[in-house]
Structure 1
Amino acid sequence: MRFLILLLIFVSSNAFYEEKASFEVVHRGKSIGVLEAVKEVVYKKTVYRNQTNIDTRVITKIEVNYGYNVTFDRLGLVEASARIKFNGKQRTNAFTERKGEGYTFVRDNEKPEELNQDIKYSTVKLIFEEPKNISNVYAEEHGEFHTIKQIASNTYRKTSPDGKENTYYYKNGILEKAEIDGGVIKFQIQRVDNE
């Protein structure tokens, strides 16, 4: 009986933790979508799920759906999928998986690429964890590493190899807003208080 009670205490204290974050997507002062993110800790794994839906008209109609599902354990990234649709058509379908000491990255059914670098921090973590003492970020969509540096107090700039820059603003370790260069469209995300 004592063992069962200890087991139940251990399982209940280590089994599940969930955190949610919601952001409004803003372009030129107008709300054009939402970003919903969830961080779940289940036993020794942390799963990040991120869904962004954008619907606007610039010169023509733009409808973009970003979906990320990323798992980390104590060693780093386990696996990551990034799926992006543009105006209803698949634009990106990327998958990263840990294989032995490295990773395999596959995008849009192309030939797999080998990545021989540890992945401890990726773009989905930017929603939930201020990147203190982090110098590079793995981009799940592209299978590449972006540099990140602190440019002011609680403010960080992430730069991709092709020069696109995103800026992230934190307060008390929590992401408040970000300026994003999404390629097709530049936009901001602003935290929505969940009550």
Structure 2
Amino acid sequence: MKSYIFLIGIYLSSYYITNAQTTTLIYDLIVSNKTIGTVKTTKTLEGNQTTYTSDTDATISFIIKTKITTRMTVVYKNDSLLSSDYKFYKNDNLKEYATVIIKEGKYILNHDGKKTEFKEGIKLSTILLPFEKPKNNVSYFEEVEGCFKVIKYENETLFKLINPKNNRNDDYSYKDGIMQKCVIRNSIVDFTMELKK
């Protein structure tokens, strides 16, 4: 009987391993019309859980060369955000981190030691944007900044993501439901992600 249960366990575990579906998208990271690195994003479906990753590897050269690395993993379960983990490294030294967990029915964002609570449910966050064309006037949770950004429709393929904190607009363009290009604007430098062909 024990061997029978063991065999069923092996079968089920191999079934779930082989039935995980992963989609990978790789983007060139561009600053001032120069490619400085890549952003690799993945979406893995496994049962009722979906895991998204975004890994950036880049080198910026101003006066000196600076190695930039980011690692993000976001897990959804039953179409709701379960957890998020983000780390930003400069020359292999951790410079920024942000985690999101659920505790006592609330989301807790820990951004560099500062904690913020969110009571509302999170069904959409920005890590999903490479993999699905958004809808107009829908809010996406920003996993690092901890705010809800609103999508605005420009045309059939172009959307703007508006940051309510500073009113900056990021541009996202799509083809066949997949993000082809985005322009991210911030106070230091604007950068572009462009899907590799």
TM range (shorter): 0.7 to 0.9
Alignment RMSD: 2.4
Number of matched pairs:
187
1:101: which partner in 2?
105
Residues 31-42 of structure 1 mapped to structure 2, 5 A cutoff: 31-42=35-46
Matched, 1:19 2:38: no
- Per-residue deviation, 1:59: 5.3
Please tell me whether the aligned partners of residues 14 and 43 of structure 1 are also in contact (alpha carbons under 8 angstroms): no
1:113: which partner in 2?
116
Please tell me whether the aligned partners of residues 96 and 112 of structure 2 are also in contact (alpha carbons under 8 angstroms): yes
**Pair 1:158–1:72, CA change in 2 (3 A):** same
Equivalent position to 1:176, from 172, 176, 180: 180
The one-letter code matched in structure 2 to 1:125 is L
Please tell me whether the aligned partners of residues 151 and 160 of structure 2 are also in contact (alpha carbons under 8 angstroms): yes
**Pair 1:13–1:89, CA change in 2 (3 A):** closer
- Per-residue deviation, 1:183: 4.1
- Per-residue deviation, 1:15: 3.6
Provide TM-score, normalisation by structure 1. Answer: 0.85
Matched, 1:190 2:194: yes
For 1:182 and 1:155, the matched residues in 2 are separated by 19
Question: Which ranges in structure 2 are unaligned for 5 or more consecutive residues?
Answer: none
1:80: which partner in 2?
84
- Per-residue deviation, 1:61: 4.1
The alignment partner of 1:163 has SS state of: coil
**Pair 1:62–1:186, CA change in 2 (3 A):** farther
The one-letter code matched in structure 2 to 1:153 is E
2:141: which partner in 1?
138
The one-letter code matched in structure 2 to 1:126 is L
Please tell me whether the aligned partners of residues 137 and 153 of structure 2 are also in contact (alpha carbons under 8 angstroms): no
Matched, 1:126 2:134: no
- The worse-fitting range, judged by mean Cα deviation, of 57-66 and 137-146 is 57-66
Matched, 1:89 2:100: no
The one-letter code matched in structure 1 to 2:49 is K
Matched, 1:150 2:153: yes
Report sequence identity in percent. Answer: 22
Matched, 1:43 2:47: yes
The alignment partner of 2:121 has SS state of: coil
**Pair 1:15–1:182, CA change in 2 (3 A):** farther
Per-residue CA deviation, residues 96-154 of structure 1 (Å, 9 max, x unaligned), is 012243211111123x2211111111111011111125511111111211121111112
Equivalent position to 2:162, from 155, 159, 162: 159
